[in-house]
């Protein structure tokens, strides 16, 4: 019988956790515990060039310091290329994915020719150049054939959302020109394989959800419930991220780290041990989500 709640925290080991990623880790743990569910950790080391050796161990230690212990040994995406290739082969066989010969420069040139601008995130919308074949060119990447439709989904915190993936993103990459699988494919295959029922992650990832729902449909996988947590902003007003030099979270004082992350989630947690803090936070989290009638499962 499938479990009624399986959640996960899925960090990319590109450096230690910062205060913002701890908020997502804590929220996903609290939501799993408040539902009496299981909580898994997946190390998303699929983008090998961006990974920092040893960062996985640092992250696992940081969450362990804060009492967040997964119910199973962590899954590493770097071990799962065969599963991603199988999913891609399946999509290609059913005409849902196709090879693409375009370089970034080709896409930019085509966008200019069409008089289009970049998407609101500054990304290039793929103009569909290779949709109908490579015309003798060599394949570089593999893309999902995105259907023309608006994708609706509901976030437990942000409410109803929609995205026109075709217009905003276009046919997106599943396997990159450098041979690595794209985050979108890996995350969807793994959430499906691990039976994840509830995804709790930072709001900076909300924008990926519609793409991931399209991929779930294409692969015949169920769509989990989504909750995107508030971001932590740095002094410059920008969200904390490893890319803009956010400091590693210091978990030598785990109570401070936990209370700080809990406060971002609207929880006022007291307690003198990690265990007490987590118990209090779990009770508050459950009450908060029940009160807003948004708790699911």
Question: Strands across the sheet with 97-100, in order?
Answer: 97-100, 141-144, 173-175
Return the residues of window 32-51 that contact ligand GLU according to CB under 6 A. Answer: 44
The answer to whether 221 contacts ligand GLU (rule: CB under 6 A) is no
Type and span of the H or E element at 229? strand 225-229
The answer to whether 92 contacts ligand GLU (rule: CB under 6 A) is no
Stretch that binds ligand GLU, among 6-14, 136-144, 146-154, 269-277 (CB under 6 A): 6-14
The two structure tokens encoding residue 42: 């997946």
The answer to whether 77 contacts ligand GLU (rule: CB under 6 A) is no
The answer to whether 201 contacts ligand GLU (rule: CB under 6 A) is yes
CA neighbours closer than 13 Å in the CB half-sphere of residue 90: 14
Stretch that binds ligand GLU, among 8-16, 133-141, 248-256, 259-267 (CB under 6 A): 8-16
Sole binder of ligand GLU in the list 6, 7, 10, 213 (CB under 6 A):
10
Which lies closer to ligand GLU via its Cβ, residue 24 or residue 262? 24
* 3-state secondary structure (DSSP) of residue 213: helix
Rg value, the chain, Cα:
20
The answer to whether 187 contacts ligand GLU (rule: CB under 6 A) is yes
DSSP 145-194: ---SSEEEEEETTTEEEEEEHHHHT-S-EEE-TTSPBPHHHHHHHHHHHT
Which lies closer to ligand GLU via its Cβ, residue 71 or residue 89? 71
Beta carbon of residue 284, minimum distance to ligand GLU (angstroms, whole number): 23
Binding-site ranges for ligand GLU (CB under 6 A)? 10-12, 44, 187, 201, 205
């Amino acid at each position: 019988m499938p479990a009624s709640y399986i959640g996960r925290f899925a960090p990319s080991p590109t450096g230690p956790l910062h205060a913002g990623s701890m908020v997502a880790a804590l929220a996903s743990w609290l939501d799993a515990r408040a539902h009496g569910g299981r909580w898994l950790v997946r190390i998303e080391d699929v983008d090998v060039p961006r990974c920092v050796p040893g960062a996985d161990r640092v992250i696992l230690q940081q969450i362990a310091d804060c009492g967040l212990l997964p119910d199973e040994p962590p899954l590493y995406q770097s071990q799962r290329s065969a599963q991603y290739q199988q999913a891609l082969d399946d999509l290609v066989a059913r005409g849902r994915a196709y090879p693409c010969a375009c370089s970034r420069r080709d896409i930019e040139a085509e966008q200019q020719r069409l008089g289009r601008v970049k998407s609101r995130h500054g990304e290039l919308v793929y103009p569909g150049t290779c949709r109908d074949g490579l015309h003798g060119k060599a394949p570089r990447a593999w893309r999902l054939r995105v259907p023309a439709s608006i994708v609706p989904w509901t976030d437990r915190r942000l409410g109803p959302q929609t995205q026109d993936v075709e217009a905003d993103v276009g046919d997106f990459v599943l396997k990159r020109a450098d041979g690595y699988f794209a985050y979108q494919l890996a995350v969807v295959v793994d959430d499906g394989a691990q039976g994840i029922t509830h995804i709790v992650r930072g709001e900076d990832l909300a924008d990926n959800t519609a793409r991931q729902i399209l991929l779930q449909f294409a692969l015949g996988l169920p769509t989990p419930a989504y909750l995107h947590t508030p971001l932590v902003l740095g002094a410059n007003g920008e969200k904390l991220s490893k890319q803009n030099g956010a400091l590693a979270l210091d978990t030598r004082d785990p109570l401070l780290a936990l209370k700080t992350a809990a406060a971002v989630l609207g929880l006022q947690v007291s307690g003198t041990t990690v265990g007490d803090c987590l118990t209090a936070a779990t009770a508050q989290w459950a009450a908060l989500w029940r009160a807003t009638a948004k708790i699911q499962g």
